[in-house]
Amino acid sequence: MTSPRGSRSTNDRAPRVSVRVAARAVLTDVEGTTSTIAFVHDVLFPYADEHLDAYVRAHRRDPEVERALRETAETAGERADAPDSVLLAHLHHWLRDDVKVTPLKTLQGLIWAEGYRQTGLRGHIYADAAAGLRRWHAAGVRLYVYSSGSVEAQKTLFAHSAEGDLSALFGGHFDTTTGPKRERASYAAIADAIGLPANEIVFVSDVDAELDAARSAGMQTIRLLRPADTPPGAKTTHPSVTSFEGIEVHPTGV
């Protein structure tokens, strides 16, 4: 179970633990949690917006792109044979408003993956997040990601991060195809997919509504209150830390 504890500062190299949990798995959010919100909104979103039309033209017959465009038409209420220009207009509008719909997230992930491979783009991961993930993985804790960004986007971000290739640390990834991040059923489905009781999983996020949903499904929860990503005066009913250094996870059953 989660329990607050005072910070320890006798050794600057030691993590300053404020929350300790006993869990077999950590499920982590990305934006505002492992990665700064500014990187997503100021780098990744504009990159996808700029390259969307050219990517669709170049990959129009790829099965994933065809499927994403069909889903765009369905979501937007357009005819199945609507021109690409009409569908792209909807996609650009959703992208600029950060609408969390699956076809947009799929295309964003594909565009970013190509950018990471071809342009040297590197994903932002907080150094404390990379260190924490490595520390927990070494201790036998199973690691998973749940983000509104597509599974493809998650994998490429962690594989091409400025903190190195972190992809081997994770046992699985979940996105909006599992369900909305603010609904209890999504977290129950993730626990089933992981194969663990919900109370043996701790969900780490910077959004209280997501944490509320995870807690209602039986998961343990930790709120990230990163100074760069948290509005002044933000409050939470969940155990909270300002970085991954403040979290100590003791694996159970290993």
Region 219-245: what's the mean pLDDT? Answer: 92
Region 36-56: what's the mean pLDDT? Answer: 94
Cβ distance 30 to 37 under 8 Å?
no
Both 31 and 59 in one domain: the answer is no
Say what the pLDDT of residue 16 is: 67
Residue 139 CA to residue 11 CA, distance in Å, equals 21
Does residue 44 surpass a pLDDT of 50? yes
Question: Is the model's pTM score more than 0.85?
Answer: no
Region 90-99: what's the mean pLDDT? Answer: 95
Both 113 and 129 in one domain: the answer is no
Specify the pairing of strand 3-4 against strand 19-22: antiparallel
Cβ distance 28 to 147 under 8 Å?
no
Which of 101, 119, 137 is the last residue in one of the domains? 119
Both 73 and 179 in one domain: the answer is no
Joined together, the tokens standing for residue 228 give: 């760069």
Domain residues for the domain of 50 are: 39-119
Joined together, the tokens standing for residue 117 give: 């491979």
Inter-helix orientation angle 84-96/63-76, to 10°: 80
Both 49 and 94 in one domain: the answer is yes
Long-range contact set of residues 183-186: C-beta below 8 Å, sequence gap at least 24:
183/213, 184/213, 184/216, 184/217, 185/217, 186/146, 186/213
| pLDDT-based confidence at residue 119 (cuts at 50, 70, 90) | confident
Say what the pLDDT of residue 1 is: 40
Question: For the chain, how many structural domains are there in total?
Answer: 2
